[in-house]
Structure 1
Amino acid sequence: MSKISKLFKGSSGSSSSSSKHHRSKGGPTPQEAIHKLRETEEMLTKKQEYLEKRIEQEIMIAKKNGTKNKRAALQALKRKKRLEQQLTQIDGTLSTIEFQREALENSHTNTEVLKNMGYAAKAMKHVHENMDIDKIDDLMHDITEQQDVAQEISEAISRPMGEMFDEDELLAELEELEKEELEDSMKSMGGLPSVPSSKLPSTRPSQRATTKKRVEDDDDMRMLASWAT
């Protein structure tokens, strides 16, 4: 018995026994179905390799006989064509199985994800069971109120202690005191000084002084001219 025949026989036997087992449980699990599909892919892949070797052998037979034994060469080519058709069918079957397996794996993944999300939702619901929205609002209101009280206490503590005076009133009082001081000092001096009646001496320089000044300037200019030459 060939390996492929044994594989088919073992697969069919295990399939029949497992089908009875699964019928009692209500159907195969996704993991079991994925495992079976992988076994089928492996089996078909081995059959592909076998067919490819057979095709190579038939080509060698056709080349060996050629025109010398046309009948044997043509028979080899016909077998090669049939083997190629089987190989094409297996390629299509493998593509279908691969698509089915990937879809099943994705479905299994989605199922696990949804199951875990449901588990998390139940946990969140359990956490929120003892929470009342009205109580939470009251709690936040109390917290805000206590913060306002704390702010008022801080402002009261930091407020300066002792007597408080208006600074504008103090400045006005200071200005009045300065006026009184000025008036007192003027009274002690006998009032404002009188304007002198006599004519003040003129500060304009005399003609003689101007002439003397001009002579001195001319002497300085002549001295500078002699140095320059």
Structure 2
Amino acid sequence: MSKISKLFKGSSSSSSSKTKHHRPRGGPSPQEAIHKLRETEEMLTKKQDYLEKRIEQEIMIAKKHGTKNKRAALQALKRKKRLEQQLTQIDGTLSTIEFQREALENSHTNTEVLNNMGYAAQAMKKVHDNMDLGKIDDLMHDITEQQDVAQEISDAISRPFGETFDEDELLAELAELEQEDMEDSMMSMGGLPSVPSSKLPSARPSQRATTKKKAEDEDDMHMLASWAI
């Protein structure tokens, strides 16, 4: 049995004995399992450092002997290969443990979230148990009714009273005031010119026809004169 096998066997036996003494009934809690996985990761990381140092030593031994002592050099390289295989196995084991730890941590987080959500749901249900939908509807109806009453009171308070003026009469009075204001403005500018009492003479139809005929004759004479030239 190799030293590494003995090491893992010893660690496994120690862990088993500890687990038998300290593991609670029903299996370990998520926190305990995560703690154990972290301890295993730490142990394997230390083992990695040890193997890397051993590999460097074997390389130095192989370089030291070289072709002068091929047997010793080859033995060193063989040991280096075995150490590299162990290092590769540990890398794979660490990846598996890391994946398992992350999955366990996520499961634990999800469980805590669900428990808290369930706790909140129970609290909400307890609050709603004390509420009656019928009473809520009645309360909202009363609130709306009281708001309408308050609006009516406000309208009644702000409404003017004792005024019975006719709006048409007020508009007629306003028109008279505007007319007076316009007349006053005209008077301040010197007054309007007087309108003549007699009508202006209009042009007789015969005179307009004569004037039009004369203009047409003159145009014809000008046209004839241009042809004669």
Q: Aligned partner of 1:165: which letter?
A: F
Partner of 2:107: 107
Task: Work out the CA distance in 1 between the residues paired with 2:35 and 2:173.
Answer: 104
Partner of 2:16: 15
Partner of 1:150: 150
Pairs aligned (count): 173
Task: Work out the CA distance in 1 between the residues paired with 2:173 and 2:49.
Answer: 116
Given that 1:7 and 1:43 are in contact with CA atoms closer than 8 Å, whether structure 2 keeps it comes out as no
Q: Aligned partner of 1:146: which letter?
A: Q
Partner of 1:25: 25
Matched, 1:132 2:158: no
Task: Work out the CA distance in 1 between the residues paired with 2:73 and 2:140.
Answer: 94
Q: CA deviation at 1:18?
A: 2.0
Partner of 2:225: none
Partner of 1:71: 71
Equivalent position SS for 2:67: coil
- Between the two proteins, what is the percent identity of the paired residues? 83
Task: Work out the CA distance in 2 between the residues paired with 1:138 and 1:111.
Answer: 42
Equivalent position SS for 1:81: helix
Alpha-carbon displacement from aligned partner over 1:162-219 (angstroms, at most 9, x marks no partner): 14232214656999xxxxxxxxxxxxxxxxxxxxxxxxxxxxxxxxxxxxxxxxxxxx
TM-score (norm 1): 0.68
User: Structure 1 residues 65 and 165, CA, compared in 2 at 3 Å: closer, same or farther?
Assistant: same
- What is the alpha-carbon root mean square deviation over aligned residues? 2.6
Task: Work out the CA distance in 2 between the residues paired with 1:26 and 1:155.
Answer: 75
User: Structure 1 residues 112 and 174, CA, compared in 2 at 3 Å: closer, same or farther?
Assistant: closer
Task: Work out the CA distance in 1 between the residues paired with 2:51 and 2:174.
Answer: 120
Alpha-carbon displacement from aligned partner over 1:73-132 (angstroms, at most 9, x marks no partner): 001001100100000000000000001001100110111111111111111111111111
Task: Work out the CA distance in 1 between the residues paired with 2:109 and 2:162.
Answer: 77
Which sections of structure 2, spanning at least 5 residues, go unmatched? 176-229
TM-score (norm 2): 0.68
Partner of 1:82: 82
Alpha-carbon displacement from aligned partner over 1:111-162 (angstroms, at most 9, x marks no partner): 1111111111111111111111121111111101100000000100111121
Task: Work out the CA distance in 2 between the residues paired with 1:160 and 1:171.
Answer: 20
Task: Work out the CA distance in 1 between the residues paired with 2:174 and 2:73.
Answer: 135
Equivalent position SS for 1:111: helix
Q: Aligned partner of 1:16: which letter?
A: S
Task: Work out the CA distance in 1 between the residues paired with 2:27 and 2:61.
Answer: 49
Partner of 2:62: 62
Q: Aligned partner of 1:140: which letter?
A: M
Equivalent position SS for 2:137: helix
Equivalent position SS for 2:97: helix
